[in-house]
Each structure stands twice: as C-alpha cells, then as structure tokens.
Amino acid sequence: AVDAESFNTNWTFGNNANARSPSVDSDGNIYILTFSDLGNSTLHSINSAGGLNWDFQFNDRYSFIAPMQSIGKYGDIYLGVDTLYSVSFDGELNWKTDIETDIGILTTHDIAEITSDSDGNVLVGTFDERILVISNDGFIKHDLKLPTGGSGGLNPIVVGDNVIYASIFGGSGETGDAF
C-alpha cells in the first residue's frame, strides 16, 4: 500500500509476482489473488493495515493464469478460471460450480469476467461468448449464448433495472463489439 500524498510505502504483502489487481470491500478489506504454475491459487484477505485476515486455497485446471474475481452485493467473493467459487466474507467456501464452455481444452481458461446484480445473482462472461446467470446459492439459472460470430471473451455489466450490457474482446472484429 502506498500513501497517496507522500508516495511512501505503508506496507507490502507477499512476494508472489503472479497476482491480479486487488479488490476492496466496503469495510476496507483488500482481496488479492495469487497463483502458481503448480496448480495452486490463493485468495488472500488483508486488512487495511496490511495484516492477513485469512487465506482461501483452491485449484483450477488452468491455475497458471490469474483467476477472475468480484465482490458481490452481500460481501461474498466470487473467483475462478474454470470453476466459479463463492467464498464468504470470513474465508469459508459457500459453493462452487463448474463452468464448461464449448471451447474446452482449446482455451487457457473459461471465465472471462465475473460480476453480480442487485438481486445477488452472479453473472459470468465466458470465452465461448455466453453469459451465465448463477443464483446466489450456486445454480445456473440462465445460459445466454450471444450471436457474436467471434471467439472472444464477454464482459457483462448490470445497470439500472437489471439490464445486462456486454462487450466482447478478442473475437473476429478489429475493435470488438457491444451488446
């Protein structure tokens, strides 16, 4: 952590260069995902002073790339690469759901983006251009395949009265598309 005024380092955490950008919850807790090429990934919960609250370890088929992460409406943390995990605020596993795509082994991972809506559902954009709506207890409620014609990942976002917008990256187009 760096002081925004003095630019002095307040504290550091870990020494793993393989990490995603951190997420911060409404209480100031920081969540950092680290991963290794050995099949192990860890979600670290750190307090604002730099102390470790807890670690949650998990394995994904493609753990050599950083998992995606998002914090939901009720404080649960959602993360994964080919399996979606829901982890409680205190570091316990709520549930996990396998995410299978049409691309399968041809891609390095299945989950392109994770977000949630105002009802507590989790939305997962996949690399085979689908949006999965998953209930807050881990069941797939909807599986929407978008007619993009490409082969990139979808990034869903929910706004207003549960309207889903999605952009595609990669794909067959030069700049991508939005739906």
For the stretch 145-175, pLDDT in tens is 776 655 555 566 666 666 676 776 554 544 4
E strands, 59-118, in order = 68-71, 77-80, 83-87, 93-98, 111-116
For the stretch 79-130, pLDDT in tens is 877 788 899 999 999 999 887 655 544 344 466 678 888 888 888 877 777 7
Across the chain, mean pLDDT equals 76
Note the pLDDT of residue 105.
Answer: 43
